Amino acid sequence: MYDLETIVKNGLCIGCGLCRSLAGSERVKMVMTPQGRERPLVTEPPEQEILEKINAVCPGIKITGPDSEDGIEMDMVWGPAAKLVIGYAADPEIRFTSATGGVLSALGIYLLESGKVDNVLHVAPNPVKPMRSGAHISRNRDDIMAGSGSHYGPSAPLTGVMELLEKGSPFAVIAKPCDIGAIRNLSKIDPRVDQLISCCLTMVCGGASEFTKSLDLIEKHGLEEEDVSYLRYRGYGNPGPTTIRTHDGRVFEHSYNEMWADEGNWRLQNRCKICPDSIGELADIAVSDVWPGGGPSGEDDGFNGILARTSSGLDLLEQAVDSGVLVITEEIDFRDMDNFQPHQVRLKQAVHDRLLGISDCELPVPKFRNLRLEELAETAEFEVRIKNRDGMAERIRNGKVIEPIPTNSKQR
């Protein structure tokens, strides 16, 4: 069993905030570290029973893939899907304002307005520090749209999950795949999860960048965080510009390719480099970009790849289409997804060998099960496999994995 400091120190924490929700804010706080990562700060060690629960649910150290479900196809790379389609939000405002085609925002609004849930838990910009994101509970369309678009960087959406469960009202979760993994882990020790969380929705994730990525961006314009009134990475088009606004009315914009063409400068957290499920296998519905080759050639009207992964996810998708909430343009298959998301295929092939690199350095190795990682590693070229294993070991030796433990005196 690991304490929180060990999980953080060894680069396994993704900052989801579930440990804080289990332990309570009097014992664990989520803080932004000087390195730009959202991490738990232990102010009072959790008691043994709570620490055991944290070890059972932490997605940094444990992810178990979905069980097979009758009638749902299972792909070696992409996992389960009852239906794969391309679509978009029927409401033009949602489609234009949100990231990509607005499917997640449209589904969140539909769940609320149809009475299927009372709340939707997701992330939105911090009202006091708008460059940062945090947990947000939506109860209507305006609430959902306040968190639409993309706000890349660290976030802890699960800090209030236990409070929502205690209220006893049905809710949905829209979050990163690792956050959904945490929810599925929690469901195995808390029956209220399956009773009250009606669905889990996610995006196919390119990784969570460190906050220093955003700070470096504004520093190019001679700005500090206190100068910024608004920061949005995507939306208002597809992909839409990265937009910075200042309190004194200045506006700066960058194209998507200016921001993300150089993959070496994504500033991804270490846990993202060994993510076993960045494609959202554990969600009910996962959505993605659908750019051939993996990147945009320009602006388009906004389209999502939609993977209904469970029977309940398929039901929700069909209900949303029948209700006029979503428009479907075409059916696709798993190999289309390979074309749209080639970097996800490479990551899925790489994880097993990167874990071997961690083991070679005698650091704690997370337990990722039922996600076909070893089989997928065998589909990669031998030279690539060696590079993944040795590359992770080299990162560890060069000090790029081990993190300092958060303290009260070292926060952003």
pLDDT of residue 197: 98
pLDDT of residue 93: 97
pLDDT score of 325 more than 70: yes
168: β partners: none
pTM across the whole model: 0.97
Peptide bond into 292 cis (omega under 30): no
Residue found under tokens 């994504």: 266
Concatenated DSSP letters for 50-108? HHHHHHHH-TTTEEEPPPP-TT-EEETTTEEESEEEEEEESSHHHHHHSSTT-HHHHHH
Q: How far apart are CA 78 and CA 65, in angstroms?
A: 11
Q: How confident is the model at residue 409 (pLDDT cuts 50, 70, 90)?
A: low
Contact residues for 105 (Cβ-Cβ < 8 A; gap 6+)? 89, 94, 97, 98, 144, 145, 148
- Closest Cα partner for 283 from 111, 29, 82, 99? 82
pLDDT score of 263 more than 80: no
Q: What is the mean pLDDT of residues 236-244?
A: 95
CB 300 within 8 A of CB 86: no
Q: How far apart are CA 302 and CA 241, in angstroms?
A: 13
pLDDT of residue 410: 63
Structure tokens at 216: 């470096």
Taking every pair of C-alpha atoms in the chain, what is the biggest distance, in angstroms? 58
More confident residue, 69 or 313: 313
SS3 category, 193: helix
Question: 381-401, pLDDT tens digit by residue?
Answer: 999 999 999 999 999 999 999
Q: How far apart are CA 53 and CA 19, in angstroms?
A: 9
Structure tokens at 387: 């590079």
CA 252 from chain centre, in angstroms, equals: 26
- H-helix or E-strand containing 1? none
Q: How confident is the model at residue 165 (pLDDT cuts 50, 70, 90)?
A: very high
Question: 352-374, pLDDT tens digit by residue?
Answer: 999 999 999 999 999 999 999 99
Amino acid at 57: V
- Closest Cα partner for 335 from 77, 69, 83? 77
Amino acid at 255: S
Structure tokens at 171: 């809710």
Q: Are strands 367-369 and 62-64 parallel, antiparallel or unpaired?
A: parallel
Q: How far apart are CA 118 and CA 400, in angstroms?
A: 43
CB 31 within 8 A of CB 409: no
Q: How confident is the model at residue 266 (pLDDT cuts 50, 70, 90)?
A: confident
Amino acid at 221: H
pLDDT of residue 371: 98
- Closest Cα partner for 225 from 285, 153, 156? 153
Question: Exposed (0-12), middle (13-18) or buried (19+): which is 115, by Cβ within 10 Å?
Answer: exposed
